[in-house]
Structure 1
Amino acid sequence: MARRRQAVTIKHVAADAGVSLQTVSRVINNEPNVRPAMQARVQASIDKLGYVPSIAAQRMSGSRSYLILAINDRERTIADWQTRQGSDWVDQMLLGGMLKCAEYGYRMIFELVDTHNDHVERELGATIAALQPDGVILTPPHSENPLITGFLAKQKIPFARIGSITPGPGVAMTMDDEGSARRATEHLIALGHRRIGFIAGSDEYDLSNWRINGWREAMEAAGLSPDELCTRGDFSYQSGVTAANLLLDGKTPPTAIIASNDQMTLAALDTAIQRGLKVPDDLSLISFDNTPVVRFTVPQLTAVDQPIAATFSKAVELLIVNGDDMVHDQPVVTEGRLIERHSTKRPRGSAGH
């Protein structure tokens, strides 16, 4: 039976080069005050033995952990995973974060924390103590939770707050939710729609209100009344059914609806079909998120593509490169884009239809 090859460790490198473990660690971490001849000697042993630095070896210096911690909401994440409804928020955050970490020789650790837990500081404290990350990325609603942001600030851990513009510690980052909602509304207005409904998300998330603001700004700029055209769901499919029925039961129903995530848009699509309405002939639909499911509906859904991967990539880079020196007076904005598919067209009876 073939013998399993023994892993090369920092001890092997030190023995081969005839130096201390601390010297090897300093070379691995590119620390100053290492003589060029010594650095070349250690590097020659690394190349000869095929040694790949581990996080444990890199952490010997005590200055860095080479870990970035990303925290997501436990309750909503687990609910999405259990229902298997196609949300790829976590996939995209890992894609952007892990690839950027790899460029810098870091690892990204993904943890779930319950933002509603009365002991959230203790829960987060245990995670921080175990991992000792060099930086933390917070997602909504954690990014707006003062217990969490205050704890990280007190611990002097650099962190990024995605989906937040509130002044305070950490670097605020947004995906231009307000601008995306405005552009989606302007797209429908350009097609000739005058009554454009909006299904907002849970008010637990500040971004839900930013999207309302973008929709309202576009409506008012075009001289259109937004009155009785906005209702709120909680990002779930069932709440989207309720919201869509409320809008379509109005005295003058909308000819188009924008919904704040794909699940609520799917609900609006199904509700329209059950009512005998054709999409987009009778009702145009635009979604937020652009998860894979929107390309498999009939018709395929026009959607706001949120730059989740790009935002996480930027957050990781800021944490690694700037670390404790991260200072941004204004939120760091990554702009989304509208992907046009087949669920939007001119309303019946409009010019050019």
Structure 2
Amino acid sequence: MARTGERTLQKPRKAARRKGQAVTLDEVAALAKVSPMTVSRVVNGHGKVRDTTRERVMRAVRELGYTPNLAASALATAHEPRVALIYTNPSSAYLRELLVGALRGASRIAAQLVIDSWDNLGSNAQRQAARTLANRITGVILPPPLCESKGVITEFVDAGVPVVAIASAHPNHHISRVRIDDFQASKDVTQHLIAAGHRRIGHIKGHPNQTASVRRLEGFHAALSEAGIPFDETLVEAGFFTYRSGLEAAEKLLAHPNPPTAIFAGNDDMAAAVVSVAHRRHLDVPRDLSVVGFDDTYAATTVWPELTTIRQPVALMGDSAIDILVRGIRRREGPRTLVDHVIAHQLIQRDSVAPPAR
């Protein structure tokens, strides 16, 4: 099982501002030779500031063309934080769980939740959308695959908007993360298949643009290695976390001259597709083929037999992301204090696994 923990990291100083990039409060403070807190007081009209200091700050504001955004205002007033959740995730089951958790968290702590879809935007359009949105929000949640977009993350970080990435396995010293240990979770479910007696185990990878997919493949490989089972590359197929990609990958694996006796799919949508292909080939699950998934979304219990899977508490992750953002904003530490929050996963055993047929 993965350990549940939370590590706090101190954010390093920002690099020099690029051409065309928004002026930051820290740059105004540096030019005026005062603290960022003093600039915030002057700009937002809070607290006592000497007239000479106020004049120096406003001169720096005019010289740099600094324009306060909603993120800065909310950090100063700590009223009604406005958090955006942006999605492009192809799995409707995953998205449903995430939205439930985020809505629950926002309702509990009286935060406004803005939900936006960037499904049809290219990378350049996403960066432009991030620049526009940054002036209207106080924090942002980026689920997969946007949590891996360096361009989008850079736009929000440079605008001073706190970011929480969901399920990213890639450490980033500028944003917070909420995740599970994908490596250990993958290893756990693979070891479950090995313990049932399987030696030829197929794997359908997740989308290549997500680091979680890489960590799950590494966990699968590690479990085989520890059990002394040779890694067979011909039993690994590419997937994209979609049902259709699961269908195509399952067809290839089950058409293998020496097909696997079990298949571990990178999420429940693809695992459900494997079950469908098995039935079409008149294979009984789990008597002829064992199948396991990942996430424990509703897709895991809408197929027959119901799937053995890894429970990734997606709703809890969305709730925790809201809490991390708003807690930081209300303590006026959102843009500076970073959190790496690891939530425990769980192996859920259902009826899709059995010992291999003789």
- TM-score, length of structure 1 as denominator length: 0.73
Give the match for residue 205 of structure 1: 210
Give the match for residue 265 of structure 2: 259
Write the distance in 1 (CA, Å) between the matches of 2:151 and 2:75. Answer: 32
Q: Please say if 1:327 is aligned against 2:338.
A: yes
Q: Give the counterpart of 2:138 among 129, 134, 138.
A: 134
Give the match for residue 47 of structure 1: none
The answer (yes or no) to whether the contact 2:295–2:314 under 8 Å persists in 1 is no
Q: Please say if 1:268 is aligned against 2:274.
A: yes
**1:86-112 superposed Cα distances (whole Å, 9 cap, x missing partner):** x33222222222222223221221111
Equivalent residue of 2:216, what SS? Answer: helix
Write the distance in 2 (CA, Å) between the matches of 1:245 and 1:59. Answer: 52
**1:305-347 superposed Cα distances (whole Å, 9 cap, x missing partner):** 211111122211111122233234xx42122212111110111
Equivalent residue of 2:257, what SS? Answer: coil
Q: Give the counterpart of 2:147 among 143, 146, 165.
A: 143
Partner amino acid, structure 2, of 1:200:
K
Q: How far 1:254 moved relative to its partner? A: 0.9
Q: Please say if 1:103 is aligned against 2:108.
A: yes
**1:217-241 superposed Cα distances (whole Å, 9 cap, x missing partner):** 1111111112122111222223222
Q: Give the counterpart of 1:174 among 167, 179, 188.
A: 179
Write the distance in 1 (CA, Å) between the matches of 2:263 and 2:172. Answer: 33
Write the distance in 1 (CA, Å) between the matches of 2:110 and 2:313. Answer: 24
Give the match for residue 341 of structure 1: 350
Partner amino acid, structure 1, of 2:131:
G
Give the match for residue 324 of structure 2: 318
Equivalent residue of 1:263, what SS? Answer: helix
Partner amino acid, structure 2, of 1:160:
V
Give the match for residue 166 of structure 2: 162
Runs of 4 or more consecutive aligned structure 1 residues displaced over 4 Å after TM superposition: 58-65
Write the distance in 2 (CA, Å) between the matches of 1:123 and 1:107. Answer: 19
Q: Give the counterpart of 2:240 among 234, 244, 249.
A: 234
Equivalent residue of 2:338, what SS? Answer: coil
Identify if the C-alpha distance between structure 1 residues 340 and 167 changes in structure 2 by more than 3 Å, giving closer, same or farther. same
The answer (yes or no) to whether the contact 1:319–1:326 under 8 Å persists in 2 is no
Q: How far 1:196 moved relative to its partner? A: 1.0
Partner amino acid, structure 1, of 2:357:
R
**1:145-171 superposed Cα distances (whole Å, 9 cap, x missing partner):** 111111111111111112222333111
Give the match for residue 82 of structure 2: 67
Q: How far 1:189 moved relative to its partner? A: 0.8
Write the distance in 2 (CA, Å) between the matches of 1:142 and 1:309. Answer: 18
Higher Rg: 1
Q: How far 1:135 moved relative to its partner? A: 1.3
Give the match for residue 244 of structure 1: 250
Pairs within 5 Å for 1:288-307:
288-307=294-313
Equivalent residue of 2:161, what SS? Answer: coil
The answer (yes or no) to whether the contact 1:175–1:308 under 8 Å persists in 2 is no
Write the distance in 1 (CA, Å) between the matches of 2:351 and 2:225. Answer: 26
Identify if the C-alpha distance between structure 1 residues 90 and 62 changes in structure 2 by more than 3 Å, giving closer, same or farther. same
Identify if the C-alpha distance between structure 1 residues 61 and 199 changes in structure 2 by more than 3 Å, giving closer, same or farther. closer
Unaligned runs of 5+ in 2: 1-45, 49-72, 329-333
The answer (yes or no) to whether the contact 1:96–1:312 under 8 Å persists in 2 is yes
**1:281-301 superposed Cα distances (whole Å, 9 cap, x missing partner):** 010000122222332322112
Identify if the C-alpha distance between structure 1 residues 173 and 32 changes in structure 2 by more than 3 Å, giving closer, same or farther. same
Write the distance in 2 (CA, Å) between the matches of 1:225 and 1:147. Answer: 39
Q: How much identity, in percent, do the aligned residues show?
A: 30
Write the distance in 1 (CA, Å) between the matches of 2:78 and 2:305. Answer: 54
Write the distance in 2 (CA, Å) between the matches of 1:241 and 1:90. Answer: 21
Q: Give the counterpart of 2:125 among 113, 119, 128.
A: 119
The answer (yes or no) to whether the contact 1:98–1:107 under 8 Å persists in 2 is no
Q: How far 1:249 moved relative to its partner? A: 2.2
Equivalent residue of 1:288, what SS? Answer: coil
Unaligned runs of 5+ in 1: 1-30, 34-57, 81-86
Kindly report the root-mean-square deviation, in angstroms, between the aligned alpha carbons of the 2 structures.
Answer: 2.4
Write the distance in 2 (CA, Å) between the matches of 1:301 and 1:32. Answer: 59
Q: Which has the higher contact order (CA 8 A, sep 6+)?
A: 2
Write the distance in 2 (CA, Å) between the matches of 1:61 and 1:179. Answer: 41
Equivalent residue of 2:187, what SS? Answer: helix
